[in-house]
């Protein structure tokens, strides 16, 4: 295999660790804090997780650890969508295992959670691990979206672990994957199986976080990668001066990516789904606001701009949220019948008859292609696959229509030409930034320390992340602490509560204070490519969001 010069250089990069994790491994001991409670639904979750609910927060300090060097086999799973830095979580885990006892083994389950069900494994060696250090992607063992959620699956997991003499599993995943990890940990504990389950917080969307999980890994690299692309488009727009670029960005449930990219690139406009929801802004009002900005700039002879659109925006618009909720319930209840409707015309006729009056009106008012996208196959939770809905093209179509009306009325004399983009996969497997390389390596190393402390049902936590790495704080957060109950497939299910953009916190307030200037006066900033070598202010800075959250 041929390697690029950057790839060769990244192989030998030594990630930084929190000061406590740089100590001799048998001199690191856990410290337990106060017991925890879930975000909401405390009584119900306590009943669902009798063995793992209410566990204390964990941190580490120096002391004598006589048991850490025992031989142990640990399994690791990459679950869900890719995120930059996943390889380094495994590298940190591997190095910690071997530092504690060179005879211990790290066993990878291939292809995601299905790997443990199929007992499809690979044992990591120095030679194999060294091929993946500080690189992007999940190709080291592959990933998958199989859900570990039934007792039959748990029983298979237990048997496979027993057969392989595995005493702990690390699940590297997002909120759903780590929810399933918590359920699996509860199952093992209820059976006294002796198998621990620890999670690592992964998602580029940035919505898996709380006071102790300050950011999910991959967010830093992905947003910097998208911001480079947005900056390139901004410079092109300012050069050609004839296109409005509508850029949809990944992030279904929260607008963290759109907000961070806006802070980095200062676009003409950026929509924040959480603000739309709070203000109950309708689709028509969103379009009217964009048109107002376009007309203002046209009057200054600036018929160009860049607009950022969160992937999940459509679910936050009140009438669309109600429509989607009705569609999800309706199609979950009548799945078999709906599948007998062979044409879109038959499907839409049946849908309109069974929707409420308001939702039927909202559905009928949408362009035909958007209606079709709303009726596509559901995701594994039975919900509309929002990533397939071309919200950016919907906005372009509605803006064009409104501008034609204004032009006919003589109140708009500019020109409007548009380009649409969707940035998602471009950022999921990028070379991790120094921040994500260090953070992920620390998460993996720390995950072993949680296992060696006899813990289960925890997420590996590295905090104080706006400071230099030697000041980072290593510890663990009980997964049940982050949970609430949500409607899934028509019934209440325990899930990790997604962290949305908080409109009263500094990242959004900073954006809100500047956005009028950004659309009235072209203020584009061009971040450029991620840098790996050079001064700290160039290559070792966290995201603007994280920095502002710590001010």
Cα dihedral across residues 38, 81, 107, 16: positive or negative: negative
Strand ranges, E, within 281-377: 305-310
Task: Record the tokens describing residue 534, joined without a space.
Answer: 């050079």
Is 205 marked active-site?
A: yes
Running DSSP on this structure, what letter comes out for residue 343? S
Partners of 272 in the β-ladder:
none
Q: Please report, to the nearest 10 degrees, the dihedral formed by the alpha carbons of residues 41, 45, 46, 51 taken in order.
A: -160
Tell me the sheet residues that pair with 73.
105
CA atoms of 229 and 355, how far apart (whole Å): 41
CA distance 160 to 113: 12
Could you tell me the two tokens for 480? 């049940």
* CB-CB neighbours of 270 under 10 Å: 25
Of 264, 250, 181, the C-alpha closest to 456 is 181
For 439-492, the DSSP string reads HHHHHHHHHHHHHHTT--SEEEEEE-TTS-GGG-EEEEEEGGGGEEEEEETTEE
Backbone phi and psi for residue 470, each to the nearest 5 degrees, phi listed first: -70, -10
Element (H, E) at 296: helix 283-299
Of the residues 205, 207, 220, 438, only one is catalytic, namely 205
Q: Is the dihedral of CA 37, 41, 42, 46 positive or negative?
A: negative
Angle between helices 357-364 and 318-333 (to 10 degrees): 100
Alpha carbons 15 and 469: distance in angstroms, whole number: 9
Is the separation of the CB atoms in 461 and 212 below 8 Å? yes
**Contact between residue 311 and residue 248 where contact means Cβ atoms under 8 Å apart:** yes
Sort strands 269-270 and 305-310 into parallel, antiparallel or unpaired: parallel
Cα atoms in the Cβ-side hemisphere of radius 13 Å centred on 493: 16
Which residues are tagged catalytic? 205
């Amino acid at each position: 295999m041929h390697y690029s010069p950057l790839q060769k250089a990244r192989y030998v990069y030594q990630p930084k660790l929190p000061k406590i994790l740089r100590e001799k491994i048998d001199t690191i001991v856990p410290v337990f804090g106060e017991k925890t409670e879930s975000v909401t639904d405390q009584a119900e979750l306590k009943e669902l997780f009798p063995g793992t609910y209410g566990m204390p927060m964990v941190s580490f300090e120096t002391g004598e650890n006589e048991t850490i060097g025992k031989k142990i086999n640990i399994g690791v799973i990459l679950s869900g969508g890719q995120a930059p830095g996943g390889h380094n979580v495994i590298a940190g885990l591997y190095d910690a295992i071997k530092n504690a006892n060179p005879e211990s083994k790290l066993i990878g389950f291939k292809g995601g959670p299905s790997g443990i069900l199929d007992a499809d494994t690979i044992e990591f060696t120095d030679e194999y691990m060294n091929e993946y250090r500080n690189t992007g992607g999940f190709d080291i063992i592959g990933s998958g979206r199989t859900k570990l959620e039934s007792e039959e699956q748990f029983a298979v997991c237990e048997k496979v672990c027993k057969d392989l003499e595995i005493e702990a599993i690390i699940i590297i995943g997002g909120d759903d994957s780590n929810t399933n990890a918590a359920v699996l940990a509860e199952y093992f504990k209820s059976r006294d199986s002796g198998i621990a389950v620890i999670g690592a917080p992964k998602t580029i969307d940035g919505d898996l976080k709380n006071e102790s999980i300050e950011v999910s890994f991959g967010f830093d690299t992905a947003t910097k990668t998208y911001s480079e692309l947005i900056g390139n488009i901004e410079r092109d727009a300012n050069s050609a001066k004839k296109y409005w670029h509508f850029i949809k960005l990944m992030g279904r449930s929260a607008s963290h990516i759109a907000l961070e990219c806006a802070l980095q690139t200062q676009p003409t406009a950026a929509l924040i789904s959480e603000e739309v929801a709070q203000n109950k802004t309708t689709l028509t009002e969103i379009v009217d606001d964009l048109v107002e900005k376009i007309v203002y700039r046209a009057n200054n002879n600036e018929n160009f701009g860049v607009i950022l659109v969160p992937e999940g925006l459509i679910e936050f618009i009140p009438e669309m949220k109600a429509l989607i909720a009705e569609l999800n319930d309706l199609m979950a209840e009548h799945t078999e019948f709906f599948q007998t409707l062979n044409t879109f015309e038959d499907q839409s006729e049946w849908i309109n008859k069974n929707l409420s009056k308001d939702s039927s009106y909202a559905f009928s008012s949408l362009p035909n292609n958007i209606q079709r996208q709303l009726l596509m196959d559901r995701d594994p939770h039975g919900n509309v696959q929002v990533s397939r809905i071309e919200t950016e093209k919907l906005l372009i179509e509605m803006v064009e229509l409104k501008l034609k009306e204004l032009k006919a009325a003589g109140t708009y004399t500019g020109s409007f030409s548009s380009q649409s983009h969707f940035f998602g996969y471009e950022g999921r497997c990028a070379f991790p930034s120094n921040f994500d390389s260090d953070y992920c390596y620390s998460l993996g190393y720390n995950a072993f320390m949680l296992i060696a402390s006899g813990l289960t049902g925890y997420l590996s936590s590295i905090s104080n992340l706006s400071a230099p790495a030697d000041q980072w704080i290593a510890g663990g957060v009980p997964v049940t602490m982050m949970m609430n109950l949500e409607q899934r497939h028509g019934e209440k299910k325990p899930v990790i509560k997604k962290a949305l953009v908080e409109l009263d916190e500094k990242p959004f307030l900073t954006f809100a204070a500047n956005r009028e200037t950004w659309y009235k006066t072209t203020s584009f900033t061009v971040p450029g490519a991620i840098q790996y070598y050079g001064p700290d202010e160039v290559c070792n800075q966290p995201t603007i969001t994280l920095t502002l959250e710590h001010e």
